[in-house]
Every structure is written in structure tokens, then in C-alpha cells.
Structure 1
Amino acid sequence: MAQITTNNPATRETIATYDLMSKDEAFAKIEAAHEAFLDWRTRSHEDRGEILRKIAKMLRDNSGRISEMMTREMGKLLKDGATEVEICARIFEYTADNGPSELADEERTHSGGKKRGIVTYSPIGVIYSIQPWNFPLYQPVRVLAANAMAGNACILKHASICTGSGLLLRDLCLEAGLPEGLFDVVLVDHDVSDEIIKHDKIRAVTMTGSDGAGRHIGKTAAEALKKTVLELGSNDAYLVLEDADIDLAVKTCVAGRLYNNGETCVSAKRFIVTETVYDDFVEAFVERMKSAKMGDPTSEDTQLGPVSSKEQFETLVEQVQKSVDGGCTLLCGGDPEDDPDGWYYPATVLADCKPGTPAYDDELFGPVASVIRAKDDDDAMRIANDSRYGLGGGIFSKDEDKAIRLARDHFDTGMIRINSFGAADPNMPFGGVKDSGYGREHGGFGMKEFVNAKAIFLPS
């Protein structure tokens, strides 16, 4: 029988082994989820919200246990794991607080305003959630919270390297009172996953991952006439404009590049710096990157842990080497040791990054920064948009009004941070454009992605 084995990237030790499910076993969970949905859809938004609040409390009560599991499975700093648990608890609470109003029936008119109409946001059934490993709790939670409030059921296929985290989330939800079957986990290979997408009880598919995987899943779902939401990769640009506060920009950009060991879709990845401040920024940025303390992810003073796996480590090595071969200048890092204790990649800075190299064109999912020189502010904006991606980004400028105008009118991306860095907030929409996918989560938007906006026409 085929199996999944999870390993600790900080030590290379085996954590656990799990048997993959057959197609029939996976389909049985889908059928059970549909049966649970038939009852759940009849409950009020307020009743659903009460259970979401209980899940939030359950997560907080088990924060240490969850954080330790995430650190062991993918190398996340233990302190960052605790932050992730808290964000997830807030997402459940936000959804419980705002779901009843977001999803409430709307009174409208029709026939030239002479007759009444009602718009309802009705649940549709079982949602298939395919999620990556970089935020083992947050990724499935943001789908589960929104869809449970909407009245849907959810089947999770988590990344294999964090199988334990997915199963732990399911168990804690059950313990908090979520009906059995409404949220479950399937341990399947890619072939069975494709069959799950085609199952007639699966009504929609949401996926976070690479743009290549998104194309495949989007195509498979489209052939089965299933709606999708895809949150894909990016190489987010952070612009350091001529009037930027350099100290703030350096501090924030380093934090944005190293957050979650550099393995975040909305990490600061490309740093586009205007000519007038280029030397000052790069000198301070390199020094700060070089001083980042790499080591045991369970240690409080560690700033950079291991990357998530051998495969991720080898991908970074290849991307950096190709970038240097293509003309990029290595300013620091880029020389990982063959550490028998784990997959550690040092904080790395590449400058003079040119089109045609991974450092300019692709997503480097690890602690590697790409620095690009711009002539002026307009050129910086042009370079930022010279990407097939468009998830997040940032602007550093002392002129906030100018930064807002650039963000609103010119930055071709889904989310922009001004003089700051952050990942996600429950009250703001999350999602991208271009090859970074489509659809939105959070901010009330996610609760309406997979509902039937149903029109009811009344005769008077």
C-alpha cells in the first residue's frame, strides 16, 4: 500500500507514516460530507457561528500542541506558529461575527421597482480544498471558516508533508462540536485527487499553490463545470522610492523576506530600488540579511529556520545558481552547507537581477532576495508590473498620498502594503491577479465565493 511519510526538516528525522486512501475510501468521505451538509445547511447563521467560536477557543487552548506540530512538519519558527494559531482563531471569530450580515437575505425590487424580490446566498454543497504546506493551519482554516458559515461542507487535501497538521485540525474541530463529516481530510495521490474534483457531490474547488498546479486543477475543474478559486504563487515587488525612509524600508524588507523562513506567497521577494537611494538601501539591507540568526526553529532567538524539505532546498539551490549564471551578482549567502541535521538555506541577496533569470521572473520560495535597480519612481513602478504574477506588493515613500495613488491606479496586483509588511487580515480581501490566480478570501468576500446567489421574484 502506498504511503505518506512526514519528516522534520530541522533534523531530517521521520515523524510519521500514513497510508494513502483508495478512491473508494476517499469517495466515502465525500458522501459522508454531503450527508452532513444536508443537515448543516438548515441551521441558522447564528447557530453556525456559535460552533465557529468554539473552534476558535479550541485552537487557542491547543496553541502549543498545534505550533509544535507545524514546526516539526515544515520547520516554521515555533513563535510564528503561535501567531498563526491566533490569526486562525481570529478568522473563525470574524466569520462568526460578520457572517450573519454578509449572508443575510437582501430585499430588492423588480419590474421597474413595482414588485418585491429577495436575493438569498444559499449553500451549494461539498467544497474541495487543496492546500499547501507553508501555513499548515491557516491555509485550510480560511477555507473552512468561510464555507462552514455559508452552510457548505469541506473536504481537505493537505500537502503531504503536513499531513499531521491537517488531521489535528479536523480532530480539534470535531472536539469543538463541528458535526462529524462536515469537515474531513483525504490522504490521496494526484490521480485520485483529480477523480475527487469530478465527483458529482463536489460542487466547487479551491486551491493554493503554484501557478503550474493551478492550471492543472483549474482545467480539471472547468471540464467538470466546477467553479474554482485559485490563490497561486507570486514574486511580490517592494518599491523603495526616492523619498523613502531608508531605515524603515530596510528593517521592513528584511522582515518581509525572512518571514516564515521566506516561504510565503506574499513575502517581499523583489526589491526595486530607485537610483538615488540604491547604494544606501543595499548596503544596509545586505548587512541586516547577513546578521539574521539561522538555527533551531524552536529557539526563541532564531530568526531563520530550515526550508520545508529536501525538494524545496534543492529547488532554491538550482534557482540561485541559474540566476548567478544569468548575470545576477551574489551579495551574501547562496552557499548552503551540507548540514546533516537539516535543510538550512542562508539569507541570500542577489543584485543586478535581469529578465530571463529565476531571480527576476520566478518565485523563489525561501530566504532569497532579488534586488533590482530602477532609474526613478516611474521606472520602479514599470519594473514592478513587469511580472506574470500579481498577488501582493509594497511601496516605501514618505508621501503617503503619492503611494496611495500608485497603489490604486498603477500597481497591477491584488494587495499593496504602504510603508509596512504583513501577510493577511480577516477584514481585508486576500487574492491576486494574472498568474497569481483569481477569487478572493477574507473580508467577507470568501463567504460569497461558493454560494448560490438565488433570485426570488414575488408577484407584488
Structure 2
Amino acid sequence: MKFKSVNPYNGKQVGEYTAHTSEELDAILERATTAFESWSQKPLSHRTDLIKKVGQLLRDDQEDYARMITMEMGKPISESRAEVNKCAWVCDHYAENTEDFLKIEEIATDAKRSFVRHDPMGAVFAIMPWNFPFWQVFRFAAPTLTAGNTGLLKHAPNVFGCAQMMEEVFLKAGYPKGVFQNIIVHQDQTEKIIAHDAVKAVTLTGSEKAGSAVAQLAGKYLKKSLMELGGNNSFIVWEEADIDQAVKTAVSARMLNCGQSCIAAKRFIILEGIYDEFVSKFTQAVSELKSGDPMDDGTQVGTLARKDLADQLNRQIKQSIAQGAELLLGGEQENCFHQPTLLANVKPGMPAFDDETFGPLAAIIKAKDIEEAFELSERSKYGLGTTVFTKDTAKAVEYAHRVSDGAYFINELVKSDPRLPFGGTKRSGYGRELAKDGMMEFLNKKVVYVGK
């Protein structure tokens, strides 16, 4: 089987990749087991030195990696460079903090000594999406490999070029063969991989549908799993907020990566006292965004990664308008490109309110007061994150308990940070990535008890 990577901006083929045969896949899985036996015994200082080197290699060859990201999925080149830099940052974070994260936890009991140590599990199978083709992988790989596990990557077929480059950078940094391996297979091989004795855990970032299917397989074979799935984040603006700053942040929160982000703000819930001012300024700001060739430094909005994704977004927009939403800006599609679009008068029951819209669509909702704003925010099957904009930050902090999501950001867009745990609730998945929590997900917390 052949997989083709196609530039969504110009339709040109970027690369062609041949699927691994059944025999090749078996060898990869066995190699992950063999590599773990020696890799897990390497001194922690050796593993932190290597992940630090990976971060430096990413910076050294930033432009090559950024160009591949942009060619394969259409992200503006400036954003691709930022993505590569963020990957280097997460490498630095675990190089600097893993010794502290993995230190033995002494616990006083009746024993002469009792403590908890953190041991690696084995091979972790990662199923990753195309929207942040480097970042999604590195936020899994940096803590997982540094803790002593091995990694198996099944990336999205349209970014197999990125996947290949990431395997190469680990080898270039000095990682033994088999510690991080890129698997080129169709999704119908997923069960075989999860079932294999080499695989001790599974992590997936992707759609709710994909997460449900993989979680069932993980349960069937009793493998630990972590799911980072969809989102429908709300962006709430209170009446005393700095409107200009809220608008500036809102544009980034929705239009970054052409809106193709699980943690993007999607529902903008505006209190009625400042609704008209916010909508006017937001519409003007979005209309001034520059669309064009993603390889141009000045481009702010690129294409969606595939035409079927643009088609789906356009259907959601048209259905919402048919149900009473008001089109304020955009709404048109040409192949993989979709205009940045604003819809007002959005209500529960419309696709623009209920569904995850993966593209440059902002749904604007009016709320009569703070209580109604939070009630509307909670009317979602997803639970990744919520933003509140206000000058009364103390009051906003008091409302944190009202939000069931995995993150609550005040006067800032919801974003991932290597220093903070990241993950969602409800249909957004379970488990946490990044920070110490992300490293602990794939470790055996082993109790050692020494009797008197």
C-alpha cells in the first residue's frame, strides 16, 4: 500500500510512503521490546542529555522541519517555526526536570522503610493527528522516552514526511535504534499493534470517534490508555473586560492554525452590555487577516489540511444559517481554503454551537449576565478549556469551580505549556499530558516495603 502526502495549498505531491509489510511490522514491535531492555537501564543523566540534544537539533534545523509541516498540512510558515521551537522547549523542560519528577517518594509507615519508585513500563504506542504534526508527537515522546520507555508512532497519513523526520532526529541525537520508531501502516493494523505483548500502553490525540475505537481496543487487551480528543471551548467576555485586548486574543484563539485545533476557542459568549462593541471590533480584526500562500512569511491564514475538512466545515456553517444563525463575515470555500467566518445569533442545537468546528469559524453568542454565560459554556459534551476575559480577576478565580473543563484561563487563550498538565473531561478524553503528570501516565508506581 502507498500513502501520498499532498500540499493542500497547491495540490502538489510532497512525498510517497510505502506501508510496512506484516513481517516488517513484527520486526518493529520486537525491536521496541529489545531496545527497552537496554534503554530503560541507561543512567537517567544519559537520557536527559539526549533529549536536550534533540531540542538543540530541532533549533538547528528549524527551517527544514517547518517547511515540511507547512507543505504537508498548510499551516503558515511562521506558525510552523513556532511549533518546532515549542517542541525544543518541551525537550528542554524534561531534560531539566526529569530527575526531580522521578525521585523516590519516601512514605512513613510501620515498615523500616517504605517508598514509591517510578519505573518505565515498556513500549508506548502513540496515534497522532496532522494538525500539529510535530508538537503532538513531542509532547508524548519527550517525557515518555526520557522516563525510560520506548515509543512507537503511527502518524496521520498526510504527514508521514513529518513522522519520518522525527524518527531521524532521534537517531541523529544518538538514541539507539528501536527506542523511537515510526510505523507506516493503515489504521486497520491498529488492533494488531495494541494486542502485541511489546505494547504496554496507548496514547491517542484525535477525534472523539477515533478515541472511542482505540479506547475500546485498549480495554479489550487491558492496556493503559490516554485520550486527548475534541473540544468546543468557550471564550467568555464580561462587561468590564478590556475589549481591545479581548478581541486581539480572540482572533488568535480562533484563527491560529486556521482554526484546526482542539483547544481553539470556538464559542464566543459575550455579555449583552458589550456585545455590539465586541462583535464590531472582532469582525473588523478578522476581516484584516491576510490569507495566501502558507510559505509566505506574511500569511496569517492558510488552507485547511484537506478538502474534506473544508467541506465539512462549510456544511456546518450552512446548516447553522438555515437554523437562524446570522452570517457576519466569510462563509465561502474554494477547495481546501475556507474563508475566516463569523456567525452571530448562534443558539444551542445549531452545529456551530453543539459540534466541534475544525476550521476558521467563530460562533458568537449573547448572554444576559455572567450566570447565563457559564450555563451556556457548560452546555457542551466536550470539556477541554474555557477562557474568561475580565478586569476583575479575583472574581473570575472564584468562578473556576463552575467550569468542568480540564483548563480555565483568565485573560488568555487556552494553550498547552510543558510546565502545566494538559487534558480534558467528558468527550474530550481522559488522562494528562505534559508537566510531571504527563510523565507519570506511563510509569509503574512501584511500592517498595522493607520490613523491620
Relative to the length of structure 2, the TM-score reads 0.98
Q: Tell whether 2:451 aligns with 1:454.
A: no
- Give the AA of the match of 1:161: N
1:17 aligns to what SS in structure 2?
Answer: strand
Cα deviation digits, residues 134-170 of structure 1 (max 9, x gap): 1111111111111111110000000111000010011
Once the two structures are overlaid, the 10-residue window that deviates more, 422-431 or 33-42, is 422-431
Aligned residue-pair number:
452
- Give the AA of the match of 2:357: L
Aligned equivalent of 1:386, options 364, 379, 396 = 379
Which residue matches 2:64?
A: 65
Q: Distance in 2 between matches of 1:230 and 1:259?
A: 23
2:405 aligns to what SS in structure 1?
Answer: coil
Equivalent residue runs for 1:353-364 within 5 Å: 353-364=346-357
Q: Distance in 2 between matches of 1:254 and 1:12?
A: 28
- Give the AA of the match of 1:67: A
Once the two structures are overlaid, the 10-residue window that deviates more, 54-63 or 411-420, is 411-420
Q: Tell whether 2:30 aligns with 1:31.
A: yes
Q: Tell whether 2:420 aligns with 1:421.
A: no
Once the two structures are overlaid, the 10-residue window that deviates more, 100-109 or 210-219, is 100-109
Q: Tell whether 2:374 aligns with 1:375.
A: no
2:362 aligns to what SS in structure 1?
Answer: strand
Cα deviation digits, residues 17-65 of structure 1 (max 9, x gap): 1111233322211110111110011112221100001111111111000
Deviation at 1:459, TM superposition (A): 1.2
Which residue matches 2:93?
A: 94
Equivalent residue runs for 1:51-130 within 5 Å: 51-111=50-110, 114-130=111-127
Equivalent residue runs for 1:271-290 within 5 Å: 271-290=268-287
Q: Tell whether 2:211 aligns with 1:222.
A: no
Q: Distance in 2 between matches of 1:319 and 1:445?
A: 36
Q: Distance in 1 between matches of 2:342 and 2:391?
A: 25
Cα deviation digits, residues 350-382 of structure 1 (max 9, x gap): 111122221001111111001111110110011
Q: Tell whether 2:320 aligns with 1:328.
A: no
Aligned equivalent of 2:434, options 442, 448, 453 = 442
Which residue matches 2:397?
A: 404
* Residues 69 and 80, structure 2, Cα contact 8 Å, conserved in 1: yes
Once the two structures are overlaid, the 10-residue window that deviates more, 24-33 or 117-126, is 24-33
* Residues 55 and 173, structure 1, Cα contact 8 Å, conserved in 2: yes
1:334 aligns to what SS in structure 2?
Answer: coil
Deviation at 1:317, TM superposition (A): 1.3
Q: Tell whether 2:424 aligns with 1:432.
A: yes
Q: Distance in 2 between matches of 1:151 and 1:373?
A: 50
Q: Distance in 1 between matches of 2:423 and 2:179?
A: 25
Deviation at 1:400, TM superposition (A): 0.6
Alignment CA distance shift 1:247-1:413 (3 Å): same
* Residues 265 and 414, structure 2, Cα contact 8 Å, conserved in 1: no
Which residue matches 1:243?
A: 240
- Give the AA of the match of 1:265: C
- Give the AA of the match of 1:243: E
* Residues 344 and 363, structure 2, Cα contact 8 Å, conserved in 1: yes
Which residue matches 1:264?
A: 261
Deviation at 1:244, TM superposition (A): 1.3
2:20 aligns to what SS in structure 1?
Answer: coil
Equivalent residue runs for 1:133-212 within 5 Å: 133-212=130-209
Q: Tell whether 2:34 aligns with 1:42.
A: no
Equivalent residue runs for 1:276-355 within 5 Å: 276-337=273-334, 343-355=336-348
1:254 aligns to what SS in structure 2?
Answer: helix
Which residue matches 1:365?
A: 358
- Give the AA of the match of 1:234: G
* Residues 203 and 227, structure 1, Cα contact 8 Å, conserved in 2: yes
Q: Distance in 1 between matches of 2:23 and 2:325?
A: 50
Deviation at 1:422, TM superposition (A): 4.9
Q: Distance in 2 between matches of 1:428 and 1:185?
A: 27
* Unmatched 5+ stretches in structure 2: none
- Give the AA of the match of 2:388: I
Q: Distance in 2 between matches of 1:237 and 1:81?
A: 25
Q: Distance in 2 between matches of 1:337 and 1:161?
A: 20
* Residues 236 and 392, structure 1, Cα contact 8 Å, conserved in 2: yes
Moved over 3 A (4+): none
Deviation at 1:246, TM superposition (A): 0.9
2:269 aligns to what SS in structure 1?
Answer: strand
1:6 aligns to what SS in structure 2?
Answer: strand
Q: Distance in 1 between matches of 2:206 and 2:22?
A: 23
Alignment CA distance shift 1:62-1:399 (3 Å): same
Q: Distance in 2 between matches of 1:161 and 1:405?
A: 44
* Residues 386 and 414, structure 2, Cα contact 8 Å, conserved in 1: no
Cα deviation digits, residues 78-112 of structure 1 (max 9, x gap): 1111111111111011001111110112222222x
Cα deviation digits, residues 402-423 of structure 1 (max 9, x gap): 11121x2111111122112252
2:28 aligns to what SS in structure 1?
Answer: helix
Q: Distance in 2 between matches of 1:280 and 1:158?
A: 43
* Residues 23 and 192, structure 1, Cα contact 8 Å, conserved in 2: no
* Unmatched 5+ stretches in structure 1: none
- Give the AA of the match of 2:207: S
Deviation at 1:115, TM superposition (A): 2.8
Which residue matches 2:9?
A: 10
1:276 aligns to what SS in structure 2?
Answer: coil
Relative to the length of structure 1, the TM-score reads 0.96
Q: Distance in 2 between matches of 1:165 and 1:46?
A: 28
1:207 aligns to what SS in structure 2?
Answer: strand
